[in-house]
């Protein structure tokens, strides 16, 4: 059965075998795999037990390797897409097509065989959150640094650790303290930007609020200093003969 792993159904507490990529296994201790925390969270969310193939034994994952070869030869050639959502849409359409064909090994139609598997529905459980996740600390100016830009958080969280989540293809940045969503911003473009929600500073004492909100703007208004193409005007100086400096040096010595 070809498909993306998000499915509407799976066997609860069933074991699922994967390869040893770093997104699944960080390393091994005394031969035992140390799973990536996100992989364990993913497995717990969908209710299955993660298992991994033995390293350097491709014969234990022949079906996986043959599936990858089939995808590369049948799905990828000539494919064009602009976003991850568009790629997933095309992949699901393709999966629907190939799963209606007779399988070369089982000689059965995968969709018909799937109906006999007896999988337990997940009862409408939402898809797993695949956001980019980063742990940050809110600075004293109530800003959080993320991917070269800074985003504001409510002043009550200054100095506290937060989790920044960037959902795929959403163009948004969401800041959480524990499980609570405390701030949401559009993803900044470029580097060095500052995305601020002034409501995050609303209950600060007036003087602190003015200093916090105006200090970054004052820095942004500084005139360019020396640099490539940004030189200050060169001052005009008087040209003097070196003999004058020799005479001054002689007088100083006397």
| pLDDT one-digit tens code per residue, 139-184 | 999 999 999 999 999 999 999 999 999 998 789 999 999 989 999 9
Note the pLDDT of residue 36.
Answer: 92
Note the pLDDT of residue 222.
Answer: 37
* pTM, rounded to two decimals: 0.58
Note the pLDDT of residue 156.
Answer: 93
Residue extents of the structural domains in the chain: 9-121, 132-220
Q: How many CB atoms lie within 10 A of CB 75?
A: 16
pLDDT at 221 over 50: no
HSE-up (13 A, CA, CB side) for residue 225: 3
DSSP annotation of 165: E
pLDDT > 90: what percent of the chain? 36
Sign, CA dihedral 47-127-34-173, equals: negative
Mean pLDDT score of the chain: 79
Mean predicted confidence (pLDDT) in 215-230: 43
| pLDDT one-digit tens code per residue, 72-82 | 999 999 889 98
Note the pLDDT of residue 209.
Answer: 54
């Amino acid at each position: 059965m070809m498909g993306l792993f998000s499915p509407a159904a799976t066997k609860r507490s069933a074991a699922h075998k994967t390869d040893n990529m770093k997104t699944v296994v960080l390393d091994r201790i005394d031969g035992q795999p140390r799973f990536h925390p996100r992989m364990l969270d993913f497995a717990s969310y969908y209710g299955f037990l993660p298992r991994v193939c033995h390293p350097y034994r491709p014969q234990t994952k022949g079906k996986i390797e043959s599936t990858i070869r089939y995808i590369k030869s049948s799905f990828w050639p000539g494919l064009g897409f602009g976003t991850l959502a568009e790629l997933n849409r095309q992949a699901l359409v393709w999966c629907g097509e190939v799963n209606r064909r007779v399988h070369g090994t089982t000689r059965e139609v995968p969709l018909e065989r799937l109906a006999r598997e007896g999988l337990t529905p997940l009862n409408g459980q939402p898809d797993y959150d695949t956001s980019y996740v980063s742990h940050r600390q809110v600075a004293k100016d109530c800003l959080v640094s993320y991917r070269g830009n800074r985003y504001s958080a409510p002043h009550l969280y200054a100095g506290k650790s937060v989790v920044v989540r960037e959902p795929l293809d959403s163009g948004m940045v969401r800041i959480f303290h524990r499980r609570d969503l405390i701030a949401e911003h559009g993803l900044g473009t470029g580097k060095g930007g500052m995305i601020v929600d002034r409501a995050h500073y609303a209950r600060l004492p007036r003087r602190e609020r003015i200093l916090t909100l105006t200090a970054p703007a004052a820095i942004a208004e500084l005139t360019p200093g020396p640099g490539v193409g940004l030189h200050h005007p060169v001052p005009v100086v008087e040209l003097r003969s070196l003999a004058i400096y020799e005479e001054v040096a002689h007088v100083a010595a006397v």
